[in-house]
Amino acid sequence: METRKIGSLDVSVIGLGCNNFGGRIDEAATKDVVDAALDAGVNFFDTADIYGSTKSEEFLGRVLQGRRNRVILATKFGHKLDEEHQGAHPDYVKQACEDSLRRLQVDTIDLYQLHTPDKTVPIADTLGALDDLVKAGKVREIGCSNFSVEQLQEAEKAAAGAKFVSVQNEYSMFVREPEDGVLAECERQGLAFLPFFPLYSGLLTGKYREGQPLPSGTRITTESRFYSEDKLKVVEKLIGFAESRGRTILELAMGWLLTNPVVVSVIAGATKAGQVRGNAEAGSWRLSEREMSEVNAILDENLSN
């Protein structure tokens, strides 16, 4: 599989989002998904301390035993675990890192990410603590998530040592806010952009179709922010576009993102081995300029958000 750079890290262009581990699936199913990912050439695994209420990290720590060298391991801190475990204060940054290292059963985290901005702590203080972790060999690279252009610029100016090398924000054909400045800022700073919810919680996989009942056992409901009749109509048009080129909407969703070189790895979650294999196989399409224009026209003409 093609790889791209996050700082010094070579990561597969399709990554594995580990948010289902310890929540929607148990440890045995987690191992099946991890095994399938490694077999498919996926080396970039992205988790967080809050996923599965810390169980995602714990499960990964156990199922990756003996295979750590095959994985670029990313995790996050900052979201509230409980009253004592949240935020980006320097003391907590170091505590959170030690806790994640222990749960993951590793000596070093490849990419350690601030999960959400903390307005109560100067970013320079947080970056100072992260720099200490890099110097101590506990973290290789640092990144952030849910940052705006202004916050990225503030972090760039504040960094006296280690600097953010990546930003992870929501981005898909249905959520295009990063195009309003964040992607350009990533290009300017040389940051890797990592889209989460790239398949819009599954709406862009083709399993949800206009005029058909919602599949059982899935997360999307008619009350979900991801669901609307208008979006299903767009899905049908995207399916038609992809099929006219011998492709699937899954390939289109991945390829549309990866055609932009600033997008380094598309992080897609999975609950089954087959989903991982499908995601990995779908990551090879790079759309032409004309194809991108045609897809964007479909989106612009049919989506109000």
For position 256, what pLDDT does the model report?
97
Domains of the chain, first to last? 3-202+259-285 (3.20.20.100)
For position 217, what pLDDT does the model report?
67
* DSSP state letters, 230-294: HHHHHHHHHHHHHHTTT--HHHHHHHHHHTSTTB--EEEE-SSHHHHHHHHHGGG----HHHHHH
Q: Give the dihedral of Cα atoms 274, 214, 22, 77; nearest 10 deg.
A: 100
For position 220, what pLDDT does the model report?
66
10-residue averages of pLDDT along the chain (305 residues): 97 97 96 97 98 97 96 95 88 97 98 96 97 98 98 97 98 96 98 96 83 70 72 93 96 97 96 95 95 95 68
For position 39, what pLDDT does the model report?
97
269 phi/psi in degrees, rounded to 5: -75, 165
Alpha helices by DSSP H, listed for 42-158, are 55-63, 90-104, 123-135, 149-158
For position 302, what pLDDT does the model report?
75
- Nearest Cα neighbor of 78 from 30, 39, 113 is 113
CA dist 291 and 301 (Å) reads 15
Which residues are the active-site residues? 51
For position 230, what pLDDT does the model report?
84
Q: Are strands 44-46 and 192-196 parallel, antiparallel or unpaired?
A: unpaired
